[in-house]
Chains A and B, each alone.
Chain A
Amino acid sequence: MNFWVIQGLNGLAFGSLLFILASGFSLIFGLMRIVNLSHGAYFMLGAYVGISAMAAGASFWTAILIGGIAIGALGAVIERLILRRLTGQPLAQVLVTLGIAFIIADACVWIWTGDPRPVPMPRELAGAFRVHQLAFPIYRLFVIGIAFALAAALWFLLERTRLGAMIRAGVDDLNMARAIGIRTSVLFPVVFCLGSALAGAGGVLAGPILSVYPGLDTDMLPLALVVVILGGVGSLLGAFVGSLIIGFIYSYGQALFPDLAYMILFLPMVLVLTLRPTGLFGRQAI
């Protein structure tokens, strides 16, 4: 009993982390059809920026904000200067974003050295929450809360605002959206900036659990890919459900079948794609 509860909570917390990572990736992928392979690097860079902000005296909460804004701005610049020129060339986009990921990774080693860094968490969230025999870190409960709040906020943005309606229209049929006068030249940078900002802020938020080190980017990127492909391209609900599924599989799987740690993560993706090539909540690409 205890085992299922605690591993369930572990899975929920890890799934929440994954959603924070994957939501931005999914937004960009869904609307712009860009497989942004630098998303993991944005996540790592955000965490490093957050550390430096905290070292300079900012609080944890301010550091999240700074990480988000900094990476959002970087994303906007990259979209404006590079990706815009590559519209409609998916291979070139993949290659360029991969290159950007390498550049960011090397720059991080250069600036912050290769030392792994722990990210300090706010004092009020340190320690464990205890019920009977159960002990669970308060910070992880907080991360679960944040992920659900973020899911709600993104849902509101997409379903209840004008910007959301434009994004949805673009995801469903980009050409038709253009034809009815939606200015994608404005929409794309906004979405890319928002997705990047989510990665940057998510990096700081995940820091106290994952810590930051060279290689964090390449550790996390495949997880974002699995989540988005499992959930379905362009579906926020898909990213959310996909994250939780992967979180639970990760947690129960590693505990029950420790020797299959990696296979367990990718097997469900293979199964889902065999049965539903567009993912759990994906729509037919147009």
Chain B
Amino acid sequence: MRRIGALFSTTFLIGWALVSAAEAAEPLKVGFMTVRSGALAAGGRQMEEGLQLCVDAHKGEMAGRKIQIITADTAGQPAVTKTKAQELVERDGAQILIGPLAAFEALAIDDYIRQTKTPIISPSAAAEDLTQRKPNPWFVRAVGTSAQAHHALGEYAAKELKYKRIVIIADDFAFGHELSAGFQRTFEQNGGKVIQKLWSPLNAAEYGTYITQIDPTADAVFAGFAGGNGIKFLGEYKNYGMQKPVLGAMTTVDEGILKRMGDEALGVISAGWYSAAIDTPANKKFVEAVRKAYNADPGYYTVGAYMACEFLNNALEQVKGDISDKAAFMKALRSVNMPESPYGQVKLDQYGQPILDITIRKVEKKDGKLQNTVIKTYPAVSQFWTYGPDEFLKSPVYSRDWTPAK
């Protein structure tokens, strides 16, 4: 009887060893949610390019483990995003997710992520509260929050550009509300005044109605647009013969659409955690790689997905490729530390949000091509700007009406 028991246990042990060896050799399944159709398709394609570049750079292997990317198209629709997240996790067995593109998509799968305890790295979605008042323990962002860069721009506009009165015109959805409110807060704290706020629908057919309402006493216009709206707005702004200087959100003159713009974009000053023109060895190398592979400059979406993938690599190396202990893996993700990256130095705060160098950028023409020239850098900017987390989190979340124009 004892011999039989020994036989059983040996067989079992051998079997178990075989299984775990097979497991170690098994690729890590990464579910990637992107957008291939509809209005956000351009950003989705750039995300795919950024991710592919990073996977290729690592030769498809991280911390000794093969990486298998399973791609899903969410169409940029929150309901579809939720289905796709479920499919990726339950049918395809994705152990970690990268995505989605838009803030409202991220909010749609927030609960599901919490339930299934699936680690997720956001390559783009910027909604503030996911790393603030309602932090998701499984969520880490590889990009800035909506307002993170625009806090800096508000101060810059008041202190260095000496603007006193500004009109804000922005997309009427969460991202537009949040980035505008962040800009307004620091601009007004430094003595400026937002005299008018105009919200245009995300799919506004044209901007003539809004441009003609801009208060003629303003010193400048702040344009907070995403997707392709920046192209439409700046083109029409010029056609209406408007002369006032334009400040833009990071995405208003993103490299992804800048290549399609003309002289109407010249001189637009914006703020971001990235510009293809950042002059560091790490970024030069990155830009070269993107230009070589895709014949285009990297922008918001390209670098975001690239960095999300680098975050994954960094965390996997810390846990030696073993993510069976999810809590340990999340801890590793939150302690991602990159002294060098296209962004510059990256560290995360305790909410899973990177602390980033923010650059003030100006659209200039170089070698016949538009670029976001860096004119100033604010080092190590937190999502809370200079306020301190406690003080910041006490104020209401940035929204359409916070705070009204005077």
Contacts and interface: CB of A to CB of B under 8 A. Distances in A.
Nearest to A128: B241
A140 interface: yes
Contacts, number: 112
Q: Top 6 closest A-B pairs, CB basis?
A: A116-B228, A114-B41, A128-B241, A215-B39, A114-B42, A137-B239
Nearest to B296: A115
Interface string A106-132: 100100011111101000001110100
Contacts of A13: 208
A115 B260 contact: yes
A135 B240 CA distance: 6
Given A118-B231, A219-B203, A255-B213, 11 more contacts: A14-B209, A17-B205, A114-B40, A114-B42, A114-B43, A115-B42, A118-B262, A137-B236, A213-B39, A214-B37, A214-B38
B206 A209 contact: yes
B326 interface: no
A201 interface: no
Contacts of B204: 261
Nearest to A223: B205
Interface of B: 36-45, 172, 198-201, 203-206, 208-210, 212-213, 227-228, 231-232, 235-236, 239-242, 256-257, 260-262
A136 interface: yes
A215 B203 contact: yes
Contacts of B257: 115-116
Interface string A257-268: 010011000000
A10 interface: yes
Given A109-B36, A135-B240, A116 B209 contact: no
Nearest to B232: A211
A119 to B, nearest CB: 9
B239 A262 contact: no
Contacts of B232: 116, 118, 210-211
Q: For this complex, into which size category does the number of interface residues on chain A fall?
A: 35 or more
Nearest to A209: B206
A57 to B, nearest CB: 18
A176 B363 CA distance: 65
Contacts of A255: 209, 212-213
7 contacts: A17-B206, A115-B42, A208-B235, A211-B228, A211-B232, A255-B213, A261-B204
Given A115-B42, A140-B208, A211-B235, A258 B198 contact: yes
Interface string A165-185: 000000000000000000000
B34 to A, nearest CB: 11
Contact of A214 (B39, B210, B256): B39
B226 to A, nearest CB: 11
A34 interface: no
B41 A14 contact: no
B205 A251 contact: no
Contacts of B235: 118, 208, 211
Contacts of A139: 239
Interface string A63-80: 000000000000000000
A14 B5 CA distance: 85
A251 B209 contact: yes
Interface in A217-252: 219-220, 223, 250-251
Contacts of B200: 254, 261
A254 B211 CA distance: 12
A6 B206 contact: no
A6 B212 contact: yes
A38 interface: no
A196 interface: no
A246 to B, nearest CB: 11
B205 A14 contact: yes
Contacts of A130: 241
Given A116-B257, A136-B240, A258-B198, A215 B209 contact: no
B239 A106 contact: no
A7 interface: yes
A262 B209 CA distance: 14
A262 B38 contact: no
Contact of B208 (A14, A114, A258): A14
A159 B308 CA distance: 63
A83 interface: no
Contacts of A219: 203, 205
Nearest to B212: A6
B206 A14 contact: yes
A121 B209 CA distance: 20
B239 A118 contact: no
Nearest to B201: A261
A105 interface: yes
Contacts of A126: 239
Contacts of A251: 208-209
A120 B235 CA distance: 10
Nearest to B210: A254
A113 B357 CA distance: 31
A209 B208 CA distance: 9
Contacts of B262: 118, 120
A261 B37 CA distance: 26
Contacts of B228: 115-116, 211, 213
Contact of B42 (A105, A116, A118): A116
A101 to B, nearest CB: 12
Contacts of A213: 39, 42, 227-228
